[in-house]
Structure 1
Amino acid sequence: MKLSFFSASMERYPIERVFQAAQEFGYEAMELWGGRPHAYAPDLADGDVKKVKQLSKDYRLPIISFEPDMVTLSWKDPRWHKENMDYYKVCLDMISELECPYMVLAALHAEFGNNYKDDWNQLIDSVGILAQHAEKRGVTILLETIAQFEGYLMHRCDDIIRVMDEVKSPYVKGMLDMLTAITANEPSSEYFEKLGKDLKHIHLVDGKKDNEAHLIAGDGELPFEEVLAMIHSYGYDGYCSLEHFDEYRGEPILFNHQAIRRVRAALQNIGLE
């Protein structure tokens, strides 16, 4: 199983310290957070892309996915919507420069009082436009479901499939965030069964049904050895990013070390490492 480091878990550290920690702990790749001080797309376009590419090379950690500093695609004010679309296009441009294959995209909350059908149609139009830009740059957009606490358009695997069906682009695929399967009360196996080869990435986290906390293996409700065995049984050959947030940001280096140790130990226990 290929494990990647999600840089957002060390958001208070400069980007070089993040690469250093990921290498020290034995991660095999980097999922890059597109916020400051790591890889905010306008900063990359202003010259920082060369620095990040060099860090990836120096620390022998390929950048295998990029998660922008997420902005909603549901603003009804056309000025705000255009600004956010332009931002995502810059992200795609810079991801291509970084030789990274994937951009993660989620549908976050915007305004209350909107019509669901209007929001959905705007999402489809937006993803379609971004998919055309992604094709020009050789980047694939990965649709990520989110917990109901974060948005209401894409909660379940079927929502990803619906977007893919309506956008009809080979540059739009799906991914699995283990937490959103928990909060949606949906078996994570549904993503493997329904997406098949269109499942391109996994956020390998633990969690609980009643909140959006992204926990390290063993701190939530999942039987993690069985989770790893399931992933292996489906023949998944992509990366699994260990994505952890607020609960660990006071000591991110210690907890990221603990996270990968727990996953490696679980893999050993079931004979996969």
Structure 2
Amino acid sequence: MKIGLFTSGYQRNPLEHAFEDAKRFGYDYIELWGGRPHAFAPDLKNGDIDMVKSLIDQYEVPVRIYTPEHNAYPYNFMIGTEQMRKDAINYLKLSMEMGKEMGAEFTLMSPAHAGYLTSEKEIWHRLIESMKELTNYAEKINHKIILEALTPMESNVCTTANDLARVFGQIESDHLVGMCDIVPPFVQHESIMAYFDKLQDKMQHLHIIDSDGTTDTHVTPGEGVLPLKEYLMELKHIGYEGTATIELVTAYINEPRFYARRAINNLKALME
């Protein structure tokens, strides 16, 4: 299993710190957060992509997944007017272009909240319409989308393995695959391992972190209440050899370098 460092928690530090730490702490790859000041897709298009590629070459750490910010202001393809949706879709198309250019295999997308007054019918129509358009573009440029389910605290659109499976049942494409962030199933008492059964070969990526058991907070591995050691044993049992990003988001933004080191050391100790 390949272990990745997520760069969102480094947004108050130079991006180079994330690449340097991935190299010195023993991470296999980087999952690059696409928000300012580091890797916002329009900034990459305007020349910053060369900076990212130079860091990849300098530290010999690849970017395997590009994760553009689109769960809040100003981009969310699940809420607002049709023009707002189109604006978000165009942004994500550009994000896929930039992900492909930096050598990433995947661009990660997670449908955000659709608003409290939106009906289930409206939510699903907008989700499928948007994902079809994005998947068609992924096929055109020969890139892959990873679709992520969020917690019910974050979204009312796609929050379970069944939701992901339903999307894949309506959009058949090798360029659209799924993943499991293990916090969403854990906090809503859904089976984490069921993702593998329900998604089958679509199950191609993980976000591994710990949990407080009640909120969407992402906790350093081994310091929450999730039975991580047993989960890792099950991953070994089923022979999972894909990617697993330790998704420390912003809970440790004051000292990301301390916690990036602790996180991978804790995870490797649990794996032993």
Q: TM-score, normalised by structure 1?
A: 0.95
Query: In structure 2, what is the equivalent of residue 271 of structure 1?
Result: none
CA 1:258/1:3 → structure 2, altered by over 3 Å: closer, same or farther?
Answer: same
Contact 1:124–1:163 (CA<8 Å) still a contact in 2?
yes
Give, in angstroms, the shift of residue 17 of structure 1: 1.6
Query: In structure 2, what is the equivalent of residue 250 of structure 1?
Result: 254
- The letter for the 2-side match of 1:239 is T
Q: Check if 1:150 corresponds to 2:154.
A: yes
Contact 1:101–1:138 (CA<8 Å) still a contact in 2?
no
CA distance in 2, matches of 1:136, 1:64: 20
Query: In structure 1, what is the equivalent of residue 265 of structure 2?
Result: 261
Query: Structure 2 stretches of 5 or more lacking a match?
Result: none
Give, in angstroms, the shift of residue 131 of structure 1: 0.3
Runs of 4+ in 1 over 2 A off after TM superposition: none
- Select 2:216's aligned residue among 212, 215, 224: 212
| Per-residue deviation, residues 189-230 of structure 1 (Å, max 9, x unmatched) | 001122222111100111133111011112211122111111
Contact 2:222–2:270 (CA<8 Å) still a contact in 1?
no
- Select 1:100's aligned residue among 101, 104, 109: 104
CA distance in 1, matches of 2:202, 2:115: 31
CA distance in 2, matches of 1:119, 1:16: 39
- The letter for the 2-side match of 1:202 is L
Query: In structure 2, what is the equivalent of residue 82 of structure 1?
Result: 86
Structure 2 residue matching 1:65: 3-state secondary structure: strand
Percent identity over paired residues? 31
CA distance in 2, matches of 1:234, 1:177: 18
CA distance in 2, matches of 1:58, 1:144: 30
Give, in angstroms, the shift of residue 149 of structure 1: 0.6
Query: In structure 2, what is the equivalent of residue 64 of structure 1?
Result: 64
Q: Check if 1:193 corresponds to 2:197.
A: yes
Greater shift in the superposed pair: 63-72 or 85-94: 63-72
Structure 1 residue matching 2:251: 3-state secondary structure: helix
What is the RMSD computed on CA atoms of the aligned residues? 1.2
Q: TM-score, normalised by structure 2?
A: 0.95
CA distance in 1, matches of 2:193, 2:116: 32
CA distance in 2, matches of 1:196, 1:233: 16
CA distance in 1, matches of 2:45, 2:119: 36
Query: In structure 1, what is the equivalent of residue 182 of structure 2?
Result: 178
- The letter for the 1-side match of 2:268 is R
- The letter for the 1-side match of 2:175 is Y
| Per-residue deviation, residues 157-184 of structure 1 (Å, max 9, x unmatched) | 0100101111222211100101011122
CA distance in 2, matches of 1:199, 1:129: 21
CA distance in 2, matches of 1:180, 1:75: 21
CA distance in 1, matches of 2:109, 2:42: 17
Structure 2 residue matching 1:104: 3-state secondary structure: strand
Q: Check if 1:115 corresponds to 2:115.
A: no
- The letter for the 1-side match of 2:56 is S
Give, in angstroms, the shift of residue 11 of structure 1: 1.5
CA distance in 1, matches of 2:115, 2:241: 38
CA distance in 2, matches of 1:245, 1:39: 15
Structure 2 residue matching 1:141: 3-state secondary structure: strand
Query: In structure 2, what is the equivalent of residue 225 of structure 1?
Result: 229
- The letter for the 2-side match of 1:10 is Y
- The letter for the 2-side match of 1:74 is M
Mapping of 1:35-54 within 5 angstroms? 35-54=35-54
Aligned length: 268
CA distance in 2, matches of 1:35, 1:167: 28
Contact 1:213–1:246 (CA<8 Å) still a contact in 2?
no
Structure 2 residue matching 1:259: 3-state secondary structure: helix
Q: Check if 1:8 corresponds to 2:12.
A: no
Give, in angstroms, the shift of residue 110 of structure 1: 3.4
Query: In structure 2, what is the equivalent of residue 22 of structure 1?
Result: 22
CA distance in 1, matches of 2:189, 2:260: 27
- The letter for the 2-side match of 1:7 is T
Q: Check if 1:131 corresponds to 2:135.
A: yes
